Amino acid sequence: MKKRLVIFASGNGTNTQNIINYFATSQSVEVVCVLSNKKDAKVLERAKTSHIKALSFSKTEMVSPDGLVNELKSLAPDLIILAGFLLKFPEIILREFQDKVINIHPALLPKYGGKGMYGKHVHEAIVANKEPETGITIHYVNEKYDDGAIIFQTKTEVLPDDSANVVASKVHKLEHEWFPKIIEEVLNKSQKTLNE
Ligand code: GAR
């Protein structure tokens, strides 16, 4: 049976698209659903175009025991991927899917993490503070913002003249290169643990 991925995203969804494309021909992994807290998010259109189930949910449904949790149980994911999901991930879901939720953050955590540090705000802060480098962090999700165990990090240089947009595109490039591969590794690792 194929391993099942469920993706949460709030906006454009270039990472989601990239993950969908990467696993489109996989014999062992499939993206079964894309969920968004924004009903008009571009990411939902992308999922539909790729013939993947696309759902949106309200904040109430997100934290209700018979809302999103039940939907997720029926989707039976092996891994839940946060790919640009900009709300705090609900504890009620984390409790059900312990160690099965991973997030990508557009900076080198623990720097530039926490509440309010997402998307372009991160890149603007990097430029404002004249950081010489930034990068990406892929990590397990726990009940605090950007705090779970780190799985993978990689860096990119920030030049003195780089704008926040330039930094954003450097970071996106790293995300697109690494996120699907790391997802695959995490899935393989949990398989190994099961067999041990
Ligand atoms: C990505 O850069 C991701 O790291 C970031 O949102 C962007 C979504 O891009 N996530 C966070 O900031 C979470 N704190 P995308 O919609 O093009 O995939």
For residue 50, CA distances in Å to 8, 43, 45, 138, 153 come to: 16, 11, 9, 25, 29
The closest of 57, 15, 55 to 32, measured between CA atoms, is 55
Query: What pLDDT, on the 0 to 100 scale, is given for residue 118?
Result: 93
Does 175 contact ligand 1 (Cβ within 6 A)? yes
- pLDDT at residue 67, as a whole number: 87
| pLDDT at residue 132, rounded to an integer | 98
Nearest CA, atom 17, ligand 1: 14
**Residue 181 has which token pair?**
């591969």
- The closest alpha carbon to 30, from 95, 88, 85, 75, belongs to 75
Give 84 Cα–ligand 1 centroid separation in angstroms. 3
Query: For the chain, how are helix, strand and coil distributed in percent, rounded to 5?
Result: 40, 20, 40
* Strand 101-105 with 29-36, pairing: unpaired
What pLDDT does residue 190 have? 73
Instruction: Report which protein residue has its CA nearest ligand 1's atom 16.
Output: 13
According to the model, what pLDDT value does residue 191 have? 63
Number of H helices, E strands in the chain: 7, 7
Question: Which residues carry out catalysis?
Answer: 105
Which own/partner contact pairs does 48-56 have at CB distance under 8 Å and 24+ positions apart? Answer: 50/17, 50/20, 50/21, 50/24, 52/20
Which of 10, 118, 126 to mutate for ligand 1's pocket (most ligand atoms within 8 Å of CB)?
118
Ligand 1 center to 194 CA (angstroms): 31
What is the spatial distance between Cα 1 and Cα 97, in angstroms, rounded to a whole number? 19
pLDDT of residue 128: 98
By most ligand atoms within 8 Å of CB, the mutation choice from 104, 115, 174 for ligand 1 is 104
- List the chain residues with pLDDT less than 50: none
Q: State residue 136's pLDDT score.
A: 98
Q: What is the pLDDT of residue 64?
A: 86
Q: How far apart are CA 102 and CA 33, in angstroms?
A: 16
The string of pLDDT tens digits covering residues 76-108 is 999 999 999 999 999 999 999 989 999 999 999
